[in-house]
Amino acid sequence: MSKKSTDLLPLLDYLRIHRVIRSVLDSANANTAHACWYFSLAGAEILRWHYKKEAHPMAGAMCLMTDMKDSNVMYFAEIENNEVHSSVDAFHAMVACDGYLIDFMTPIFPETAASSNYAFLPPARSFQRRIETMKPSPADLVRDGDFFFDPNVELTDSLLRKVVENQFLSDLIQGCSDWYRRPPKTIPAVLTIGNEKGQMSQVRLQDATVSGAW
């Protein structure tokens, strides 16, 4: 497991942000295990509003070594001629903030791998990594937690425009921020939220645990 001197967020805060986003996405019948873009959108909004940080969602090609013993790597990209590229159908998204890349979706990576028919299941871990710790290429992934991320500005801008044009998606992101409370404040266990038809329902905050950090 990669060692880091400090994280940008305390683990309690990180997990609470993950729990809020996951709970809202599940309530909207989203494909949550593959909803990295919405995890990054809502995570960035929460960091901006509740932590007063400059945070931006970024989409691109991403590779993560999850088990160096068996060389298990999760790829979120298209692979052509031993090179990785992101596209609208093959990408991952994270939050860029204060020199870090934060991935609020990694606690459910076991679900992501299972639904993608991977031959292995990665552990559930948090991900807050300084950008300077990123490897220069996928070929340099050697140890557990080694990662590569190649941001795609055009793809990110295109995805942002689609959210701006969809009021329901914008409301979902805002709902995550409205529900969130920064520790040590108590967060409500239930949120009332509307669907695309205007029907209201209650969303219960789900729990989450991780076995360490990438």
CA 44 to CA 31: how far, in whole Å? 20
Share of the chain above pLDDT 70, in %: 95
User: Looking at the predicted structure, is the pLDDT value of residue 4 above 70?
Assistant: no
What is the tally of structural domains in the chain?
A: 1
Q: What is the CATH number of the domain that holds 90?
A: 3.10.550.10
Residue 184, in any domain of the structure: yes
| Cβ–Cβ < 8 Å for 61, 84 | yes
Residue 212, in any domain of the structure: no
Residue 211, in any domain of the structure: no
What spatial distance separates the first Cα and last Cα of the chain, rounded to whole Å? 6
Residue 209, in any domain of the structure: no
Q: Which domain holds residue 116?
A: 11-204
What average pLDDT score do residues 181-196 get? 88
Q: Quote the pLDDT of residue 195.
A: 65
Residue-wise pLDDT for 15-55, tens only, equals: 999 999 999 999 988 899 999 999 999 999 999 999 999 99
Residue 183, in any domain of the structure: yes
User: Looking at the predicted structure, is the pLDDT value of residue 113 above 70?
Assistant: yes
Report CA torsion sign: 137, 80, 66, 9. Answer: positive
Residue 77, in any domain of the structure: yes
CA 46 to CA 40: how far, in whole Å? 10
| Whether the model pTM is above 0.85 | yes
Residue 56, in any domain of the structure: yes
Residue 167, in any domain of the structure: yes
